[in-house]
Amino acid sequence: MLVLIQKLQEWLTASIGDHPYTAVVTTLALTGFIILVYWLFYALVFRGFRSLSRRVLKEDSDVQPLRIQKQEILSAAEVAAVLNRTFQVISWALRIFIILSLLNTVLGVFHSTRDLAAMGNNLLRSAVAGIWQSFVDYLPDLITTLVILFIAYLLLKLFNLVFMGVQRQRIRIPGFYPEWAKTSFSLLRVLIIAMTLVVVFPYLPGSDSPAFQGVTIFLGLLFSLGSTSAVANVVAGIVITFTRAFKVGDQVRIAHSEGKVMSAPLS
């Protein structure tokens, strides 16, 4: 774009002829034309994405809730909010790019600032090329991460079906009581998620950097210190569940409270 503008400026100067004010008039006219063109692009992007946001946020929009079979993951309003936020991010990114391109192009019109414009153009190109090359280099790790996450998701779905069948006594395992099913699945789910995180961690971008590892250790330390009482309660619940200290339907008395056990889930 910058090279095209400079060629157009040279052609206009040559067409008008040699005159003391030729360069000034050509430069000002070309600058005004460039600002007008970029303003049209800016207005088009702004109004286009604003129209998309209004369309997804209106009450009678065609946005549908996100479902997996019959389970609703996100309501229509939540999906609309996500789409609206996505449109806003894309709109701001494009508008910032248009403004930077405008400044770079205007600097390229004036002879005294052409070197600065060329330097900015080279920096932008190198930055975009670096980001693209980093993305291409990360693609194998990204595919591996997605495959691992997909396998973990399938395992969770499979074990959920199995333990749900045990809980409803459609599947019988000798020595395994139905009331153990929900607690066992909760423990197995935590184990699968933890193992998935351990396996996926080396494939995350920046996982080899000391800063990333330091932040991870710090968050782990905060979690371990802050969840001491919660872990104690979970362990107590596991012990009560697997020792079958009480079952659903039992009448129990704890301290000064007495009542009937309605359910005994781990979570």
Question: Is there a single domain that holds both residue 71 and residue 143?
Answer: no
| 131 within domain boundaries | no
Token readout for 148 is: 């691992």
Range of 219's domain?
136-260
> How many C-beta atoms lie closer than 10 Å to residue 135's C-beta?
11
Tell me the residue length of the chain: 267
> Is residue 72 located within the same domain as residue 156?
no
Query: How far apart (Å, rounded) are the C-alpha atoms in residues 263 and 66?
Result: 30
- CA dist 27 and 33 (Å) reads 10
Residue 140 and residue 256 share a domain: yes
Residues 227 and 152 in one domain: yes
Q: What CATH number has the domain bearing residue 204? A: 1.10.287
Are 87 and 170 in a shared domain? no
Segment 78-128, tens digit of pLDDT: 888 888 899 999 999 999 989 988 888 888 777 777 778 778 778 878 888
Together in a domain, 89 and 145: no
Per-residue model confidence (pLDDT) at position 147:
94
Look at residue 251 in the predicted model and tell me its pLDDT: 75
Residues 155 and 256 placed together within one structural domain of the fold: yes
Residues of the chain with pLDDT under 70: 1-23, 68-73, 211-213, 223-249, 252, 263-267
pLDDT at residue number 5: 63
Q: Is residue 124 part of a domain?
A: no
Same domain, 182 and 251: yes
Residue 214 lies in a domain: yes
3-state DSSP assignment of residue 73: strand
Do 58 and 148 share a domain, yes or no? no
Q: Quick one: tokens of 111?
A: 């002879």
Q: For residue 259, list its beta bridge partners.
A: 252
Whether 82 and 154 share a structural domain: no
Query: What's residue 241's pLDDT?
Result: 63
Q: Is residue 31 domain-shared with residue 76, that is, in the same domain?
A: yes
Number of domains in the chain: 2
Nearest CA-CA partner of 5 in 39, 41, 29? 29
Domain shared by 94 and 153, yes or no: no
Which pLDDT score, from 0 to 100, does residue 242 have?
61
Report residue 250 as tokens.
């039992």
pLDDT for 39 = 93
